[in-house]
A and B are shown apart, each in its own frame.
Chain A
Amino acid sequence: MLNTSPPQGSSQADAPCDCRSAAECEADRLTRYQAVANGEAVTLLRRRYRRFAAWMTVLFLAVYLSYVLLSGYAHRLMAVRVVGTVNVAFVAGLLQFAMTFLIAWLYTRYAATRLDPVAERARAEFDDTQDHQAGARQGGRDPEGSTCAR
């Protein structure tokens, strides 16, 4: 995926390269990404995404595994009737469905309000460095094409 050696087939031979050598080209690109990686937007995005995804993963794995363990080892509890013939085991099973829907909804809402706008900002930051570095040079969003290869 990186640009050093000829990548996925097509665009290399026909690509005019503004950089002096492939190695410099590569270094250029990596510096750009590193600058954005240390920037305000990506730092915020990283922190928010990791914190949310990690907590939710711990939560749903814990709930799911306790359900599996209860089903395997807490037979008497699971057999308690709740309504009619419906017992705790069924309610617990349906709660797994509810949990999945709920976490998916929470994540989607969180991503739309707290992640997507920051990602947008980070992309803008990235495009800025590209314009800055490349000057008037045409820059695509294609990694084979960005900075140098095309």
Chain B
Amino acid sequence: MRTVTLDQMSLAAGAGAGAHRSLIIGIFLAFVLVTLGITLWAGRRTSGTADFFAGGRSFTGFQNGLAISGDYMSAASFLGVTGTIALFGYDGFLYSIGFLVAWLVALLLVAEPLRNSGRFTMADVLAFRMRRRPVRTAAGISTIVVSIVYLLAQMVGAGSLVALLLGVSGGTAKQVIILGVGALMILYVTVGGMKGTTWVQIVKAALLMAGTALLTVLVLHRFGWNISTLLGAAGHAGGKGSAFLEPGLKYGATSVSKLDFLSLGVALVLGTAGLPHILVRFYTVPTAKAARHSVNWAIVIIGAFYLMTVVLGFGATALVGPKAIKASNPAGTTAVPMLAERLGGGAGSTGGAVLLSVISAVAFATILAVVAGLTLASSSSFAHDLYAQVIRKGRATEKQELRAARLAAFGIGAVSVVLSMFADKLNTAALVALAFAIAASANLPTILYSLFWKRFNTRGALCSIYGGLLTSVVLVVFSPVLSGKPTSLLPHADFAWFPLENPGLVSIPVGFLLGWAGTLLSRGEADQAAKYAELEVRSLTGAGAH
């Protein structure tokens, strides 16, 4: 998803919804009402911290698998990946693959040990055998930074997208929409806690899968259920000949862009298992076995989803055409809604209007659910790690911790609403990739070291979290994302010396190296072997698990 400026938006308003606005709003309001109902219902069943932070650990593997998928399949995937495929052909497929393969890291190395040894947040696992206050502070900060970057990406995208689909233009309309999205997500989180948020994710995942499957069936039906025919038609319409069906159209131009592609690939595959809103989901099931099943379900659902995005992307190229898509949005964000309209019978037809409205409403639901998950994860970390353990030194009552979480949800929600309003020129795709890169550089090394490396200690954890965080953020600040290019946030300034848009290729190894060096350059801690024995027994067997 690229930057959407105001004139592009008014341009798109004609091509987009217009007359069908009321239908879209109607379907969307129905979703909001249903989810608010669920939230109120869940809110009444939420009393303690285990309910609020972990949904009472009462979800089944399948339910949590759906909820994980709901948390993971963001608008950036549904609209961004399909749009990239629609405009750049094969290169968009690489996102789909990275987003899926990443789940093997979660399945093999993270989900079960984390479920077994932690309580509410990622920091719980670190706090086991290290000095608690410094590691909780570090983990809390990196959780909140990753979440806010990811939130910003979703909300900036939401503002542009909703404005685009509703056919409204102008800065005020967009700001009102961002404000509305922010208010709803705060409501979901503060009232419904993890229970409410999980059900919102489940409903959203079901809607998104149904909508995507419907469009996929319609596209495949058009092409006689023959992938080769579909690809042929897309290649023909793509206007780039067979290159459209081969890698390299977006990233193959120069040796720098090829490195950028490699960097993106590494960040995608290693980032997922470090994303805070994904990690907290493993705590909502009763056992490690259920956590394993939920990741398996997530792999099935997410895998099916990303296979379908390929059909939708190439279908949009073949049926709508890159010219029309680009005219509506230069990054291709509206490719899927336009495809839906075409499949329903084209602009002006009732079928087209209905299908466009349904798909647009699904896209809204997607954004809303993802931002709620992010707000919950970051406010949990604030309340449980920073407030209860660091500020109150473990002396906060459950009630105070819950109040802190609700206040934090307000605070984080407000901060991201304000940032999104002023940052609507930011490139959403870069922000999402940055969130993945920070998660992979700051969170993943620490999680893996602390689970599997006996010698790992506080110094190592701090070096790796702060080092990975700083490296990735600094490299982005001095990259073409911020300055030096016409597509940068500050196109007129040029202080970029780091050539890659995604810092992962450098910052992830730095995060791992710093954790290793910091550990070896400091002395061991008291009781280290015994504490590691406890963590290992717990993480492997589930003895003493919450």
Chain A residues within 8 Å of B, Cβ to Cβ: 1-2, 5-10, 29-31, 33-34, 36-38, 41-42, 45-46, 49-50, 53, 56-57, 60-61, 64-65, 67-69, 71-73, 75, 78-79, 83-87, 89-90, 93, 96-97, 99-101, 103-104, 107-108, 111, 116, 119, 122-123, 126-127, 141-143, 146
Contact = CB atoms under 8 A, between A and B. Distances in A.
A36 B228 contact: no
Contacts of A61: 269
Given A33-B533, A100-B101, A100-B103, A79 B246 contact: yes
Contact of B536 (A46, A100, A103): A46
B545 interface: yes
Most chain-A Cβ atoms within 10 A of its Cβ — which of B226, B261, B544? B544
B245 A89 contact: yes
A59 to B, nearest CB: 9
B100 A96 contact: yes
Contacts of B248: 71-72, 75
Contact of A97 (B97, B388, B530, B543): B97
Contact of A73 (B98, B258, B295, B536): B258
Q: What secondary structure prevails in chain B residues at the interface with A? A: helix
A126 B545 CA distance: 12
A65 B268 CA distance: 12
Contacts of B226: 84
Contacts of A142: 544, 546
A97 B245 CA distance: 18
Given A68-B262, A104-B299, A45 B246 contact: no
Contacts of B543: 36, 122-123, 126-127, 141
A38 B300 CA distance: 37
Contacts of B109: 53, 57
A121 B179 CA distance: 53
A4 B132 CA distance: 12
A33 B537 contact: yes
23 contacts: A1-B124, A2-B531, A8-B401, A9-B395, A9-B398, A29-B534, A30-B527, A30-B533, A37-B536, A57-B104, A60-B104, A64-B98, A69-B262, A71-B261, A72-B248, A72-B262, A78-B246, A84-B231, A86-B228, A90-B93, A104-B104, A104-B299, A141-B544
A122 B540 contact: yes
B394 A83 contact: no
Nearest to B236: A85
B303 A97 contact: yes
A141 B538 CA distance: 11
B270 to A, nearest CB: 9
Given A9-B398, A126-B543, A142-B544, A64 B228 contact: no
Contacts of A116: 289
Contacts of A86: 227-228, 231
B235 interface: yes
B418 interface: no
Nearest to B400: A9
B105 interface: yes
A104 B296 contact: yes
B401 A9 contact: yes
A30 B536 CA distance: 12
A85 B300 CA distance: 27
A119 B541 contact: yes
Nearest to B533: A37
Interface bin, chain B: 35 or more
Given A34-B530, A101-B299, A116-B289, A49 B394 contact: no
Given A7-B394, A85-B235, A97-B97, A75 B246 contact: yes
B536 A42 contact: yes
B397 A64 contact: no
A146 B544 contact: yes
Interface in B372-411: 384, 388-389, 393-398, 400-401
B184 interface: no
B541 A10 contact: no
Contacts of A64: 97-98, 101, 265, 269
Given A68-B262, A85-B245, A119-B541, 19 more contacts: A1-B128, A9-B49, A9-B395, A9-B401, A29-B534, A36-B533, A50-B452, A69-B262, A72-B261, A75-B246, A85-B228, A89-B246, A90-B245, A100-B104, A101-B299, A104-B107, A108-B296, A119-B542, A142-B544
A107 B103 CA distance: 13
A137 B540 CA distance: 26
A30 B530 CA distance: 6
B214 interface: no
B93 A93 contact: yes
Contacts of B235: 85
A146 B128 CA distance: 15
A142 B246 CA distance: 55
B20 interface: no
Nearest to B118: A1
B351 interface: no
A101 B303 contact: yes
A56 B531 contact: no
B101 A96 contact: yes
Contact of B533 (A10, A34, A107, A123): A34
Contacts of A9: 49, 388, 394-398, 400-401
Given A9-B388, A53-B109, A45 B540 contact: yes
Nearest to A48: B540
Contact of A8 (B96, B394, B529, B533): B394
B62 to A, nearest CB: 14
Nearest to B104: A60
B246 to A, nearest CB: 5
A29 B186 CA distance: 41
B242 A79 contact: yes
Contacts of A37: 533-534, 536-537
A93 B94 CA distance: 8
A5 B289 contact: no
A23 to B, nearest CB: 11
